[in-house]
Amino acid sequence: MARNLREDFQRGCGLFSCGYVGRRCIDDKKYDGYDGAAKELNQGIKEGLFKMRTKRIVFVGERKAQLQEFELDESLAGHEIMVRTLYSIISAGTEGAAFTGLEREHPAVSNFSYPYFPGYGNLGEVLAVGNDVSDYRIGDIVFSTAGHQLHWKFDTVRGHLCVPVPEGLPLLMAVFGRMAAVGIAAIRKADYSLGDKVLVIGAGLVGNFAAQEFQLAGCEVMLTDISEFRLQCARKCGITRVLNPNQDDLYEAVRAWTGDKGVQISVEAVGDVRLIAQAVELTRPRGEVILLGTPRKRLALDCTPMLSRIHLRGITMKGALEWLYPVRESDYQRFTVTGNLKQIFQWLKEGLLKTKPLLTHLFSPNQCQEAYEGLERKKDKYLGVVFDWSK
């Protein structure tokens, strides 16, 4: 009986094929007749009557991505919810390092291995809620750091991050909030003031959003990258002062822009030790260098000139990892990961952060190999890559 009910509801509402269930289906007059079926299905999931065959992306080896089926227990504890993914976004840095095997060189990672289950930013719809859940409802759109998988469960008490997305915010804009949340860590860490000159090195998604956010904060921004394609995307996002160091002298440009003083804040958004050293050279006395990108690749580099400049010029270097802040909001914490996301969603909804020029590819999860290869090898074509789980 449970199986027939489930198949009935799938046919009527497209439960696992189109991602519109629960409140969203019931609110649509077309699906009024499935109100009772939705409630019974929710109860069946709570009681563990179903075992789900669902899908997720797996790195089975170096530079080998596959979409695989796996079985997910649909039974829910009282404080759990079940979510169906609508869109998920790729991090070219973190996930790319796992795809290529570069993560093995990460000084802070000692046990990297395959198979590896990637994921970074996930936008999904709540399918079912446990009996003790009060903050989420069926049909809610939620944003999380869940993996690239079609269905997943979230523990609302002990879980890491699952934030409701405000109504009216287009979903393909909201999913970019994950990358903007990385960029905002530079804002939170920087000691900036109105009119400060900020140099952002690296025009990937993280660097682009950091540049947009510093502009929103009232700073003057220069964004630099060796990819002309990424600089074109930046211009479309409203970042007008951009520079390609393969075409123009970055040092001369910064000197002319700052009156030979150097920038107040440099943000390195790539994770390259050589670019960090360059950021220090371009920063004025008593300025700041913000490390937004994660250094992974081991390089032999004479650090003495960089450290000498930091010491003699009183330059401050800060790490800007987003997870240095608490996840959940609190009256005793000024900044939190959840609070940052809420601010970003508000900016996106008001049109203050731009995402449309950044979406270069909308793939089916079946195209995962093509997606990760493109981000690694075709940086002049690939920038914002999102999986559409309805495909």
pLDDT at 1: 31
Task: Residue 319: give its domain's CATH number.
Answer: 3.40.50.720
Within-domain flag for 332? no
pLDDT at 30: 37
Residue 356 DSSP label: G
What is the number of other CB atoms lying within 10 angstroms of the CB of residue 209?
Answer: 31
Same domain (yes/no): 95, 231: no
Domain coverage including residue 226: 179-323
Q: Which residues contact 181 (CB under 8 A, 6 or more apart)?
A: 322, 337, 340, 341, 344
Same domain (yes/no): 156, 43: yes
Same domain (yes/no): 116, 162: yes
Q: How far apart are CA 69 and CA 81, in angstroms?
A: 21
Within-domain flag for 218? yes
Same domain (yes/no): 163, 259: no
Using CA atoms, how far residue 301 sits from 65, 249, 305, 318, 350, in Å, is: 33, 22, 10, 20, 44
Final residue in a domain of this structure, among 275, 298, 323: 323
Place 41 in a pLDDT band, splitting at 50, 70 and 90: low
Place 44 in a pLDDT band, splitting at 50, 70 and 90: low
Which residues on adjacent β-strands are paired with residue 51?
Answer: 73
Pull the structure tokens for residue 40. Answer: 């019974």
Same domain (yes/no): 57, 186: no
pLDDT at 197: 98
Place 31 in a pLDDT band, splitting at 50, 70 and 90: very low
Same domain (yes/no): 72, 189: no
pLDDT above 70 coverage of the chain, percent: 87
Same domain (yes/no): 109, 186: no
Q: How many domains does the chain have?
A: 2
Final residue in a domain of this structure, among 301, 323, 345: 323
